[in-house]
Structure 1
């Protein structure tokens, strides 16, 4: 597999693990010294911080969907950068809340003895929309078996 395909698979695995709450796989996509910048108020400087935050904040009561497209990846030796177009949705049934939006991810990757890993990640929002599910009386949610509880 070439470097571009390996980095694409890494990013997809990161998102799949996030959405299915597979925190071990999620952690494996990151270097120990990863930094994360998700908007202006969320930042992390280690894998443990980032994974712990996601595990706590995006637990089984929060349904997420993350899709990335249009990768722009540049590889220079054992380091690479990537930009991705993100579309996401967050549903919190207990609070009758849904958020959806779009952003551009900016990532840095490092080749390790275990393959490519994300060493910096974050995004800048292009928009974010929020709504009360109480405004949609017919809204119903069934969660599939892929979500780890």
Structure 2
């Protein structure tokens, strides 16, 4: 049995220690890499949903490739961080509420690169237009280890479904919470 210390670069506080079984060739470093990759993906989604665009950008490499396929009839492809962040900032202002959840990570690390497949469930609410989208997809990411930790270098998803609905007649009310960035 091994013990692995996990800390996120730049965050103060004590390290967390996790017992790890190092069977099947998995090393403590592999475990630390898996956890760091999970953290960057979770941070990516939290920053996206809270509209914290600087933190969102910090999860991405400068040369990120993004392919989100058709979204409401538009193909979404990006070839760098500025392009991707600028699109998200303009497409998802504070009055558009989003909720992204990923589960079931399948992560493979090879040296300073890794791949990850995640199950996504998401919801987009545009109260001004009486519109809501719910859906699911599989994210397919590539990660790169940098001097500032793991970053996402390729991202995108393939939808299993999306469903849109009108909020009219549902007596649907929404109030953005204080976690949502307003600037």
**1:39: Cα distance to partner?**
1.4
Aligned to 1:92: 126
- 2:181 aligned partner: 148
In structure 2, the gaps of 5 or more residues are 1-5, 7-31
Q: 2:146 aligns with which of 99, 104, 112?
A: 112
Following the alignment from structure 1 to structure 2, what is the Cα–Cα distance between the partners of residues 92 and 142?
12
Task: Verify: 1:13 aligned to 2:43, yes or no.
Answer: yes
Q: Could you list the per-position Cα deviations for residues 40-94 of structure 1 after superposition, in whole angstroms to 9, with x for gaps in the alignment?
A: 4000000000000000000111100000000000000000000000000000011
Residue 54 of structure 2: SS of its match in structure 1? helix
RMSD (Å), alpha carbons: 0.6
Shift in Å, 1:23: 0.2
Count the aligned residue pairs.
148
Structure 1 CA distance for aligned equivalents of residues 78 and 33 of structure 2? 26
Q: What is the CA-CA distance between 1:135 and the residue it aligns to?
A: 3.5
Partner of 2:22: none
Where relative contact order (Cα < 8 A, 6+ residues apart) is larger, the structure is 1
Structure 1 residue runs of 5 or longer lacking an equivalent are none
Q: What TM-score, normalized by structure 2, do the two folds share?
A: 0.80
Separation of aligned partners in 2, 1:121 and 1:132: 30
Aligned residue for 1:74?
Answer: 108
d(CA) in 1 for partners of 2:134, 2:147: 37
Tell me, in whole angstroms, the C-alpha distance in 2 between the residues paired with 1:78 and 1:52: 28
